[in-house]
Structure 1
Amino acid sequence: MSEPTHHHPVIVIGAGPIGLAAAAQLAERGLDFLVLEAGSSVAAAIEDWRHVRLFSPWRYDLDPAAQRLLERAGWQQPELDDLPTGGELIDAYLAPLAKTPELTDRIRYEAEVVAVTREGYDRVRTQGRENAPFLVRLQDGQELRGSAVLDASGTWRKPNVLGGSGIPARGEQTTPIHRALPDVLGADRETFAHQRTAVVGAGHSAATTVIELGALADQEEGTRIAWVVRGTSQERSYGGGAGDELPARGALGAKLRQLVQSGRVELVSGFRTEAIENGALVDGDRRVDADVIVNSTGFRPDHDLVAELRLDLDPILGSTRALAPLIDPNVHSCGTVPPHGVDELAHPEQGYYAIGAKAYGRAPTFLLATGYEQARSVVAALAGDWEAARSVELNLPQTGVCSSNLAAPKGLTTGLALEDVSATQQGCCG
């Protein structure tokens, strides 16, 4: 017979910003916990885009509980109005946080989770289910048991497909395609210089890459850019401009608009990729020839590892059914998402919560601040403090547009303002 559930730690999947925020909250509450990180270091997903600058300043990127742990360890807070890169988010915040006395021995690296279930229970069996511990299997075959599971693994490892119908375009799976946010002006420069690149997608990660390619084209003759989008109006991509409460996010859209209007970027709109043939994107009788293709179409959650848990998922977004109307990108921008917490994140499987970018499913409206509040609320509930768990607050910068958290490269500036990105996503930000 299994040990009582409460004898096991809370298992947090992912040592990114949201996973470590949950760990900090658990530490403050005195709850036993273990953080499992698939990578060899903290925030391994963010390492993939460490060159990218956030468009949200430090004041929106720090979790309060994490700050308290860091300050007790002698940490110096960065300037709150500065815009960190992904690398600075790791080096100045997440790596020191992971080394605090409360967290350092509670994080396991190279511990990729491949399945989560209830010990002795598949999805069908009910009687006694809530008393069985969670069984977490790792890639190496090791199995761990937990009293609860907080899945902060994000969505970065599961990009959307290029196919305009939600499935891979014909030829997509046999065509070399570059993932979102390549380091165009740095490590990946030779891949893009003197080439024609098609960037597919209408969010901030696409805008970032298009802008970087524009800068590269100024330096490297023969560098050409096609920006390929399904929509016929790009006003959402161009953003709130001067009216955006995050100035760098507004500047990103303004620079993108300038590149298109100047003719330096070829805008291909109303294009639904049906096939990729000999390096060209195909939509009926329309073709976009390219030497390099970048997939910036966003990300989606991987629910396969929890397939034997009882989830209540919205059929459209893949978030919880209760959260979906609050984050619907057809209605909300990232700055208009209302406060939400444990009640909106709960599944029929008691004790399992997806938090962070994964909680949003396929909605691209996630910001770090929303993930931090999710973590605080859920951990308060696990501690039995339901008053705190249900007292949710969120103060986000308003904007008319937000389709992604990611934006621009380190050091890239325009005549308007420093370009930047707000890290999630991200998925990125388990």
Structure 2
Amino acid sequence: MSEPQRADLPVVVIGAGPVGLAAAAHLLERGLEPLVLEAGASVGAAVSQWGHVRLFSPWRYDVDAAARRLLAAEGWTSPSPEELPTGRELVQRYLEPLAATEPLSGRIRTGARVVAVTRAGADRTRTLGRQRRPYRLRVVDASGRVDHVLARAVLDASGTWSRPNPLGPDGLPAVGEDDACERLTGSLPDVLGRDRARFAGRHTLVVGMGHSAANTLLALVELAGTAPGTRISWAIRGGTARRLYGGGSDDQLPARGLLGTRLREAVGIGVVRLMTRVAIERLTPLADGVRVTGTSRDEPLELEVDTVVNATGFRPDLEMLREVRLDLDPVVECPRGLAELIDPNVHSCGTVPAHGERLLAHPDDGFYLVGTKSYGRAPTFLLATGYEQVRSVAAALAGDRAGADAVELQLPATGVCSTDLAAQPDETAGCCGAPQPVLVGPARRRGGAA
């Protein structure tokens, strides 16, 4: 049997979130055939899990340009450009209409979880004839049925939402973390809505220093005002929360700046108990809670709480890509060429320069990590970054080298992003928002100027 010809196959996009669907729109504009595989039951499945959270950027920056053109052709009414959408609104008013457009509706498969990517007929050790071989994706549907899909190229936009970091201080789970899972939640529980009963009148420990932690803390502060007995503890690994407090009124995204201001006030008046330099070593399940054991500022720490919120960030699922030849940075676990631009030891989301296909490419040609997953363990991703990534990749796959290299990106120059979340005066706020425009200059190198 002759090998399939790569050029006759679709470009597979893994994930039907904002960046994945934007990738499909750009591929269509370039005359390429996309096939989007989404593990969830509907498009935007991961976003829907934090649907109660409000983005810190308005609609004008949350919609990809190619997606907007595709929607406009079918009479889509754009939301007010200055309105801040929730995650739920982003799905219902943007992603679902986009997926329902005539060009895209037949090119999206939901309930299709990609569990492995390889080159057809070749493991990662085989080199002879490798570039001629298409990609082969193993896909499992909701019933457990296994299928295989061939692709000329693959854009992995599956994100990192399903892979939270562990609570232990050294990159490993704390002892007993798996046993205590019923007392743990993800980074953005719906404190004031669906999950209210779990937190009202109870003691919660929030672990982490990103904006996801800040959102949850501020929701708990609001809950404490109406639910007596609600107690809030906050543990961070650093010695100060100054970085999360951010730029305040100087932030070019007012909602994000307000988040830090409100959190600082809550800590200052004692509504939130802040513990610094915390290392969680052990979690012990109790009949009605969990005991947290470790150290805080090198002193013993033992705390009994009802619930622990793990807001320590996320990491990419690389197991599914073991047979793909990747070139990843050993620190950030992102494409090696991108690492120096997004290293969280140096950069916030507002200092990441424009980048495109050249920095996203891997030794296996035609394979790309895009969107949140392209950032590996760096928590500084913004939607605008992902939209520019997939525009550049689509141009390269279509043979437009000049278009692929002409990357532009506008990001806020103020504010600090550990994750891309923020708050409004009366609501929690959240991730993936594209920023208000501030032109970013040349790429910065690790530890110095360009």
Q: TM-score range by the shorter chain?
A: over 0.9
Q: For 2:378, give the aligned amino acid.
A: A
Question: Is the 2:292–2:303 Cα contact (8 Å) retained in structure 1?
Answer: yes
Match of 2:147 among 142, 148, 151: 142
Q: Sequence identity, in percent?
A: 55
In the alignment, does 2:367 pair up with 1:352?
Answer: yes
Match of 1:304 among 293, 297, 319: 319
Q: For the residues of structure 1 that align with 2:410 and 2:83, how far apart are their CA atoms? A: 18
Calculate the TM-score normalised by the size of structure 2. 0.91
Residue number in structure 1 paired with 2:293: 282
In the alignment, does 2:336 pair up with 1:321?
Answer: yes
Q: For the residues of structure 1 that align with 2:303 and 2:398, how far apart are their CA atoms? A: 55
In the alignment, does 2:425 pair up with 1:413?
Answer: yes
Cα displacement string for residues 272-298 of structure 1 (whole angstroms, at most 9, x for unaligned residues): 111113412211421222111110000
Q: For 2:194, give the aligned amino acid.
A: A
Match of 1:378 among 361, 368, 393: 393
Calculate the TM-score normalised by the size of structure 1. 0.96
Tell me how many residue pairs correspond in the alignment. Answer: 419
SS of the residue corresponding to residue 102 of structure 1 reads helix
In structure 1, runs of 5+ residues without a counterpart are 426-430
Question: Is the 1:249–1:419 Cα contact (8 Å) retained in structure 2?
Answer: no
Residue number in structure 1 paired with 2:93: 92
Cα displacement string for residues 366-391 of structure 1 (whole angstroms, at most 9, x for unaligned residues): 00000000000000000000100000
SS of the residue corresponding to residue 146 of structure 2 reads coil
Q: For the residues of structure 2 that align with 1:378 and 1:88, how far apart are their CA atoms? A: 28
Q: For 1:249, give the aligned amino acid.
A: R
Question: Is the 1:134–1:147 Cα contact (8 Å) retained in structure 2?
Answer: yes
Residue number in structure 2 paired with 1:266: 273
Cα displacement string for residues 245-277 of structure 1 (whole angstroms, at most 9, x for unaligned residues): 100000001111010001001001110111113
Question: Is the 2:55–2:433 Cα contact (8 Å) retained in structure 1?
Answer: no
Q: For the residues of structure 1 that align with 2:260 and 2:292, how far apart are their CA atoms? A: 25
Cα displacement string for residues 92-115 of structure 1 (whole angstroms, at most 9, x for unaligned residues): 111100011110100001010000
Q: For 1:326, give the aligned amino acid.
A: L
Q: For 1:155, give the aligned amino acid.
A: T
Q: For 2:176, give the aligned amino acid.
A: G
Deviation at 1:423, TM superposition (A): 2.2
In the alignment, does 2:185 pair up with 1:185?
Answer: no
Higher fraction of strand: 2
Q: For 2:159, give the aligned amino acid.
A: G
Residue number in structure 2 paired with 1:428: none
Decide which moves more: 34-43 or 393-402.
393-402
In structure 2, runs of 5+ residues without a counterpart are 435-450
Match of 1:224 among 231, 245, 259: 231
Q: For the residues of structure 2 that align with 1:10 and 1:144, how far apart are their CA atoms? A: 11
Q: For the residues of structure 2 that align with 1:352 and 1:303, how far apart are their CA atoms? A: 13
Residue number in structure 2 paired with 1:45: 46
Q: For the residues of structure 1 that align with 2:303 and 2:357, how far apart are their CA atoms? A: 46
SS of the residue corresponding to residue 211 of structure 1 reads helix
Deviation at 1:129, TM superposition (A): 0.3
Q: What is the RMSD of the two structures over their aligned residues, measured on CA atoms? A: 1.2
